[in-house]
Structure 1
């Protein structure tokens, strides 16, 4: 199975107990996100519901997140945040 790197930002990082990123070996971005929610619990589930995602720098749409990947990819987990 390919390695899917999840990179956490802002509230996602907090929900992941301060982790910047983690690697999960699974078949699809959706499966990696489910594994992350199981590992980190309710706080991560709440963050994931409101987050946007990038797969290797491109928008990851919900309808394509379940598509299996053949090689390693990086998923950025981007919760809403404000700043300047």
Structure 2
């Protein structure tokens, strides 16, 4: 028995851990109809971040309108190891 798909929902720390370990193939992001901001607003990832040479490329696979927002499905072009 093997695991082919695993969905992980979390905050910036978990997102960074999964991405920095090279374990992410796809990313789903929802863009809603509210703007949240400020100095303490959460970001998609925490951690050490990427250098310019390590930037992670994404390919847009689909965009689906859901009520007043859009669900974007991305494929990760390169994995960070």
TM-score w.r.t. the length of structure 2 is 0.31
TM-score w.r.t. the length of structure 1 is 0.30
